Amino acid sequence: MKKAVILLSGGMDSTTCMSVAYKEGYDMYPISFDYNQRHKRELECAKNVAEFYKVKQHKIIKLDNVGGSALTDFTIDVPDYKGDSEKIPVTYVPARNILFLSYAVGYGEVIDAEAIFIGVSSVDYSGYPDCRPEFIEAFQKVINIGTKSGVEGRPIKIITPLINLTKAETVKLAVKNQAPLHLTTTCYKGGEKACGICDSCRLRIKGFKKAGIKDPIEYEIEIDWRDNK
């Protein structure tokens, strides 16, 4: 059976990616990362998602974070959503996807995987530079020329099922694939209930509203799911 490494955060996007890999018949090997993020609740969600799909092995890799982000530095507040901005937000974690993909490629070579699934999107997203198509294309070139499998003509392929999807389209895809969205969380603040006001929550809420679907997770604030704005 063909194998795939899944970058599984425990959020909606990575879980939707996992549902795509499952539908496409991959033997899935999810990996998650503990980089001292304040939203560590995602790791528990990742464990639950991995158990839902009955995977053979789910790795959680411990990384020392480099700081400089509201998600890893507790002296920097997670900002409330203030609308679209051209600036890279303080929730950007320096080189996060570079590190994650590097580990995924190494692990992929060990288990002889054909693909890596990552839930990046360049449509409804927070403006992170490591979520853009240009970044994925560049990293694919690194795999092609910097790994044994690549040099031998069978490079591991980075698969990004969500990169051109809106959040509403991602929600619809997840529901179509019966992804366990009730087991996920997206909130940057990492509480038992999602805050509903951080950038990540607002993007998720917007996606569900535009999809015309009620989010199965709980929020600290009351949300009118009939309002698609």
Sign of torsion, CA 153 108 35 205?
positive
Q: Is 45 annotated as a binding-site member?
A: no
Structure confidence at residue 77 (pLDDT):
74
Beta bridge partners of 158: 116
Lowest-pLDDT range of 123-127, 156-160, 182-186, 209-213: 123-127
Q: Is 131 annotated as a binding-site member?
A: no
Q: Is 201 annotated as a binding-site member?
A: yes
Q: Would you place residue 85 in the very low, low, confident or very high pLDDT band (cuts 50, 70, 90)? A: low
List domains and CATH numbers for the chain: 3-166 (3.40.50.620)
Q: Is 207 annotated as a binding-site member?
A: no
Q: Is 85 annotated as a binding-site member?
A: no
Tell me what the mean pLDDT of segment 205-224 comes to.
95
For the chain, the average pLDDT equals 91
Q: Is 28 annotated as a binding-site member?
A: no
Tell me what the mean pLDDT of segment 20-26 comes to.
98
Q: Is 17 annotated as a binding-site member?
A: yes
**pLDDT tens string 32-62:** 999 888 778 999 999 999 999 999 999 999 9
Question: Does residue 150 surpass a pLDDT of 80?
Answer: yes
pTM for the whole thing?
0.92
Q: Is 1 annotated as a binding-site member?
A: no
Question: Does residue 155 surpass a pLDDT of 90?
Answer: yes
**pLDDT tens string 128-137:** 888 899 999 9
Q: Is 14 annotated as a binding-site member?
A: yes
The residue among 95 and 207 whose pLDDT is bigger is: 207
d(C-alpha 11, C-alpha 48), whole Å: 11
Angle of helix 167-176 versus helix 199-211 axis, rounded to 10: 60
Q: Is 184 annotated as a binding-site member?
A: no
The residue among 190 and 53 whose pLDDT is bigger is: 53
- Asked whether the beta carbons of 28 and 21 are under 8 A apart, the reply is yes
**pLDDT tens string 168-184:** 999 999 999 999 999 99
Q: Is 198 annotated as a binding-site member?
A: yes
Tell me what the mean pLDDT of segment 188-211 comes to.
92
**pLDDT tens string 87-102:** 777 777 777 899 999 9
Structure confidence at residue 81 (pLDDT):
59
Region of 16 (left: φ > 0; alpha: ψ -120 to 50; beta: rest) is: alpha
Q: Is 64 annotated as a binding-site member?
A: no
DSSP state letters, 158-175: EE-TTTT--HHHHHHHHH
Q: Would you place residue 80 in the very low, low, confident or very high pLDDT band (cuts 50, 70, 90)? A: low
